[in-house]
Structure 1
Amino acid sequence: MDPRSEVLLRQVDYLQGPLLLAGLPADELLGQLAQAHGWSWHAGQQQWLEQHYPGRCSFATTPPAMTWQSAVLFLPKARDLADYLLDCLAASLPHGGQLLVVGEKRGGIERIGKRLLAYGQPRKLDSARHCQLWLAEITQAPAMPVLDDLAEPFTLDIDGAPLQVISLPGVFSHGRLDRGTALLLEHLHLLPAGHLLDFGCGAGILGAFLKRRYPDSRVTLLDVDAFALASSRLTLAANNLQAELIAGDGIHAAPRELAAIISNPPFHLGVHTHYQASETLLREARQHLRPGGELRLVANSFLRYPPLIESHLGPCQTLAEADGFRIYRACRP
């Protein structure tokens, strides 16, 4: 079981009655709390929870419209996302309702006391497993935040025309164009015609660009995060573009017979570093590409991706290198 869940269960007396668990991990916590309901924005965790506890967890960017006595937030790393989630939960609770926050010490939980002052008097309930658990009883609730009001739009000049990007809290490179994506955008010419996939779409920059440059191609955007998909949806709408969006935890959720997979693949999750999604993409891209289909991606120069690409897909070409990033290209034979 996740150590945060273990710390939470040490204080089970605070977890009675209708309870909302926000950002809960994929573990047995729901099975220990009969009146609890989950709220997840991670497609992989949601899939696991739905398989084990059908109907007891919602996948969304807003909390379930139900009545709660208390709520628990598993604190995310991104502060802007944490602020939005805290306001959502506090607004969902009645006066005197209990808002609990649990998180790892290196994930910023030690700062949460000051943040909880906005809702009531905070106190630390527990500290164990390198985690802390905090509680505030709601004495002053905020209005329910409107997610779209927190968007940070910005404009890119690409191919001599503006591309509007709508970035939401918690989405990768919130409110700005990251250097890796900027480099990849310069090297997306001469893609094969057909179905194009933006893997790990984030705010939808690559997907929107692909649909605009290759208007006759079918374009799909895939991400594990509900906030990224919501952001991509807004970006597409802002540019009057149509594309398919898929919530999925990795390349296995992608369509087959793709003409090209384009990606600035993620390798960070929370306070830990993870390469699994990116490495799985490189190992399994062949299964999702048609013969002659192409993988084109950007990656940090220190990541040893070429040997992995060549062992599972084919010869790997380096198209460009700048600012600590490289653009790789490989085709399925």
Structure 2
Amino acid sequence: MPAWETTGLTLSCHPPVPDHIALPWDAADDYLLTRVEPLDTLTINDRHGALSCALAARGMDNINWHDSACACEATRRNHHNNQLPLTGDRLILDKDQIPSTVRQVLIKLPKNLEQLKYWLQCCRERLPADTRYLLAGMVKHMPVSWLNWLEQEAVTYRQERVVRKARLLELTFTPAVKETNIWRGYQTATGLTLSGLPGVFSRQQHDIGSRVLLQHTDLPFAGRLCDLGCGNGLLGLTLKQAHPELNVILTDDSWLAVCSARHNAIQNKLDASLNHGDILDGVEGQLDWVVCNPPFHDGHKQLTNIAERMFEQSAAALVSGGHLLVIANRHLPYAGKLRNEFSKVEILSSDSRFSVYLCQKR
């Protein structure tokens, strides 16, 4: 387990990632710790709980707002391994759980501006004007257009010098009126109306990969089907619409994705079970089908480990003779991994961008 020299903490990533690819902290975390003040603090996008652990080691009370089930688990593990306190109410999933006592917000910059705008809007709805905001990230991930937008929105804006390729901003904002309509969406060719919350994959348009996979709705789907990494629920709900007898489970690592999928199931009057968890955590019993459009990014890093864990856990959860249906970018090296996990792997379709794999369990 790598040691964070600045703090003396030993931290790990969850799910595990080789140290040469990513550590649980970076230079932006170090930079934030040089500017933090002893105030009631909210951390956002603290992927592995590094900031939270560092603040707890200083005796500072802090709230951790995570969207990801993996991030929640990483935070718990790193607190436990460093013998640091972490009570259940220190981990929150929903904006309505942000305590009004918070006076300092630490944000690691996300991959997209839409997500950042959402976090800031939620904080401004609940926190007073004297709240201090510290935003940090690596320079290569902070476009000038983002900096310009933040400077226009903020009441006060200070940009610190770049340190070890990391940039830090200190800002204050006026309180904001609650946003009444944050849903964005589209209608599918089969008549489903799908919406999503900020940060949910393919929130405003039907992504190309899912279109390709859904050309195969005529497969003999039956029994219990899990839409793994469901996003807004597009795959699972479309298959439920085409095969009403299916028992559909929608699960995702993202809390906002699960909320979006639940909203869409209700709006389209389709019965489905919802689950928030890491891969298949929390999905009980065996499955007849798993469908997925696996991610190959974790934040700014392109990785295949998330998809590989999806394949492994799907193989374990499927009944004998059960099937996994996967859509993947053609350049990704998934075929070998799938053949290691499944007795039969068939490429149903392939073009210059995507391949659709139908895999059967031994």
TM-score where L is the length of structure 2? 0.84
Contact 2:115/2:199 (<8 A) preserved:
yes
User: Would you say the 8 A contact 2:106–2:133 is kept in 1?
Assistant: yes
**Do the aligned residues in 2 keep the contact of 1:89 with 1:99 (CA within 8 Å)?**
no
Whether 1:134 aligns to 2:163 is no
CA contact (8 A) 1:110 1:132 kept: no
SS of 1:157's partner is coil
Flag the 1:145–1:63 CA change in 2: closer, same or farther, 3 A: farther
Secondary structure at the aligned position of 1:296 is classed as strand
Match of 2:34 among 2, 5, 10: 10
After the TM superposition, which of the residue ranges 252-261 and 174-183 deviates more from structure 2?
A: 252-261
How far residue 126 of structure 1 moved from its aligned partner, in angstroms, is 5.1
The residue identity in structure 2 corresponding to 1:5 is D
State whether structure 2 residue 74 is matched by structure 1 residue 39: no
CA distance in 1, matches of 2:146, 2:259: 27
Residues 128-156 of structure 1: per-residue CA shift (max 9 Å, x gap): 34321101123x2222334xx12112111
Judged with a 3 Å threshold, the aligned counterparts in structure 2 of structure 1 residues 256 and 306 are, in CA distance, closer, same or farther, namely farther
> How many angstroms does 1:61 deviate by?
5.0
Q: Distance in 1 between matches of 2:108 and 2:331?
A: 32
Instruction: Output aligned runs, 1:245-324, within 5 Å.
Output: 245-324=274-353
Aligned mates of 2:271, 2:99 — CA distance in 1:
29
Q: What does residue 184 of structure 2 align with?
A: 152
User: 1:311 Cα deviation (Å)?
Assistant: 1.3
Structure scoring higher RCO (CA < 8 A, sep ≥ 6) equals 1
Tell me which residue corresponds to 2:52.
Answer: 30
Give, in whole Å, the separation in 1 of the partners of 2:220 and 2:43.
44
Aligned-partner Cα distance in 1 for 2:360–2:96: 40
Partner secondary structure for residue 145 of structure 1: coil
By how many angstroms is 1:44 displaced? Answer: 0.5
Q: Match of 2:340, SS? A: helix
C-alpha contact 2:296 2:307 (8 A) present in aligned 1: yes
> What runs of 5+ residues in structure 1 fail to find an aligned partner?
none
After TM superposition, the structure 1 = structure 2 runs for residues 231-246 of structure 1, keeping only pairs within 5 Å, are 231-246=260-275
1:173–1:201 Cα change, 3 Å: same
How many angstroms apart in 2 are the aligned matches of 1:229 and 1:324?
A: 28
**How does the TM-score come out when normalised to structure 1?**
0.91
Deviates more, 1:221-230 or 1:29-38: 29-38
Matched with 1:89 is 123
Q: What is residue 156 of structure 2 aligned with on the other side? A: 121
Match of 2:111 among 77, 86, 105: 77
Q: Within 1, Cα distance between the matches of 2:42 and 2:354?
A: 41
Per the TM alignment, residue 48 of structure 1 is displaced from its structure 2 partner at its CA by 2.5
- The alpha-carbon deviation at position 252 of structure 1 amounts to 4.6
Indicate the SS of the match to 1:87. Answer: helix
Shift of 1:127: 2.8
Gaps of 5+ in 2: 1-23, 80-85
Cα distance in 2 for residues equivalent to 1:266 and 1:253: 20
CA RMSD in angstroms comes to 1.9
CA contact (8 A) 1:285 1:313 kept: no
**Deviations for 1:184-218, whole angstroms, at most 9, x for unmatched residues?**
11113233421100011111101111222222221
